[in-house]
Each structure stands twice: as C-alpha cells, then as structure tokens.
Amino acid sequence: MYSLYRQYLLIVFAVGFLSSILLFNGCKSNNESSSEVRFEKLDSIEAQMFQEPENLDSLIEKVDTMSITDLEQARINTIKALHFYTNEEYGKSIQALEEAESYYLNHGDDFHNNVNQLVKAFNFEYLDLDDIAAKLYIECEDYFNKISNLKYKFYASLGVLRMSKQLNLDQKFLFNRMQVEFSQLNDLNYNGLLFATMGVLEKDDSIKNIYYEHAKSDFSKLHRWSRVYAIELNNLFWQIRQNKVDNIQSYYDSFNNRSYSYIPTNQQKMRYQYGQAYLYSIQGKDQQAIKTATHVLDQTVSLHISKVEFDCLQLLAYLYRKTGDFKKAHAMLERYHYLKEKAAGGSSGINC
C-alpha cells in the first residue's frame, strides 16, 4: 500500500591542467544532475507507493541504480518493503525496513523514518500484532499532521481508524473527521479506501453494504478493478461468516460466474477456494472441509501465499480438534505460530 540509488564516480585524466579542471567540473555537474533526476523519480515513486503498491516493481526499474547514495538506497529499501508487504513476504519487508531505519536514525531523517514506520505498521497489523501497529500509526499521524503532509497523514489516519478498537477510539467520530480533513484531497482513490475500510469495520450489514457500494463506485471510476474485486470478495466472506443468505452455497457459487474487467490474482483465487472449506465447516461437513482446506493449503505453500496459508492452518486446527484428532490439531497450530514468528522476523516483540 511505497513503494516501497546510487552515486557514480567518474575520474578523468587529461593532458593539461585547464582541460582537467574543465572535465572535472563537467563531470561534477553531470553527477549532480543525475542525482537530482534520481531524487525526482524517487519522490514520484514515493508519492504513488500507497496508491499503486502493485506497480512498484515497474516504478523502481525506472530509477538509475548504477551508483547511488546511502540515502537513496534507504529510500529504495522502504519502497521495496512495501512491495514485499503486498506480496505477503513480511520477513523480507521488515528486514528491508530495519536496514533503511538504521540510516534514517543515524542521519536524523525524521520524514523518511516516519514513512518507513508507516510501512512497518502495515506489516505488524497484517501479522495481528495490533498493539505495535496502533502505536506506530498514532506516532506517524502526529508527525505528518505536524508537518502538514496531508497525503501521508491520510494513510496513518486510516491505520488509526482500523486500529480504533485497540486504541479505544470511536470509529464513527474518526470516520467523520477523516471525511472533513481529507475532502480537500479530492481524490477518488482516497474516498474509495476510506469507504472500503468502514465497510470492513461496520457491524450493521445494511450500512456495511452502503460503504462497500460507495467504495466500488469510486474505484470503478478509476478502473481499479483489483480493488473492486477485493471488495466484492470481502463482502462475500462477510455474508458467509454471518450466514446472512438463505441459500449461502448458491450465493457463493454464483460469485465466480460474475463478469469482472479483471483477472483475479492467485491470492484472490486461493482465498475464494478457502471460502469453500470454511463454508463446509459451518455446514457441518467436516471431512469435506478438511479435504478442501488441505488442498488449498498445499497450493498456497507452492504459491507462497502466506495469508491464506495462515487461514487454512487455523481452520484445520479447529476442524481437527472438533473431530478429535488432537495430534494433527496441535501440529497445525505449531506450524501456524512458527510461520507467524518467521514472518515477523523471529520475534513478536520487535523494538520499534
């Protein structure tokens, strides 16, 4: 949700003192020009990081990395960390963030350090380390508010909104405040993200659907079909969990037959298939649920889709306990906790 640089040295020997000086000055000017161009590109990439994290690879490729400064390398690490995060490679993401952080802290770079902490908060939130994530979101929100950077503050405030339960803050108050504060951005992407977040958090089904419809409308106008599909998938899972539809199996089956201007990612396909296992479990079809979840688990391992793998392990642990196979249930839980710790860099108590 940044995207998430090198300086080159040219030494030229020439005959004659004057020509040497002229060549040196020319090279110095070119170096400064290249560095300036790289910084401009990095500024542009950082501005797009959260809005288009799925495109970070192609954006980073546009940066000249033949010879970069330590600061530029740190910024690239932060951008790559967001890319790792969106690809569920949390261990790599946190490692890249910590490498960047060591530079920012040593050089008193508060701005880039807070961008770095914002990406780190995403990782901790996704790893269910909500207390750590909430603390970072609050700190980032305060900082970006202090320097009047509205766009970065938006993502920090959105994190605070998602962590409202942990922070004991009123969701509706935060939502209304964000609508007022960020209306001047006049950006459908921000509107869509805000409504989608409220759709996830809202408990009332009818209000939830209103938020989702607003988000889908905003993203459709931007042709952001990936996010439209993700919202539809979220809504489907909400209906399954709440068992809100009379014929839930038919409702589930109909989802894949809908026409979208978008081909789902492997992660979305696996999440959809996991939904069938979950559906079997609430229908009391335990053996079918175990068979389906195991099949999906095998696929997620080969495709390196961590989030769905975590979900399958939790579901299988529940199903094995329910059917009396406590040995397998324990094995699923052990594997789940091992993967969580590995994804978080080996410790859930990482010092932020």
Which range among 6-15, 20-29, 119-128, 253-262 shows the weakest confidence by mean pLDDT?
6-15
Sequential DSSP letters for 35-95: HHHHHHHHHHHHHHTTT-GGGHHHHHTTS--SBB-HHHHHHHHHHHHHHHHHTT-HHHHHH
Dihedral sign, CA of 140, 141, 147, 152? positive
Contact call for residues 123 and 131 (beta carbons, < 8 A): no
Average pLDDT over residues 90-118: 94
Name the amino acid, one letter, at 77. N
Q: What would the two tokens of residue 58 be? A: 């192609």
The verdict on residue 165 lying in a domain is no
| CA–CA dist 155, 158 (Å, integer) | 5
Q: Does residue 98 sit within a domain? A: yes
pLDDT score recorded for residue 318: 97
Quickly list DSSP for 324-350. T-HHHHHHHHHHHHHHHHHHTTS-SS-
Structural domain includes residue 223: no
Whose tokens are 């106008």? That residue is 221
Q: Please count the structural domains in the chain.
A: 1
Q: What is the pTM of this model?
A: 0.80
Domain containing 72: what range? 1-127
30 in a domain, yes or no?
A: yes
| Residues 325-337, mean pLDDT to the nearest whole number | 95
Amino acid at 234: N
pLDDT at position 19: 33
Span 147-197, pLDDT tens digits: 999 999 999 999 999 999 999 999 999 999 999 999 888 899 999 999 999
Residue 113 inside a domain? The answer is yes
pLDDT value at 68 more than 50: yes
Answer yes or no: is 312 within a domain. no
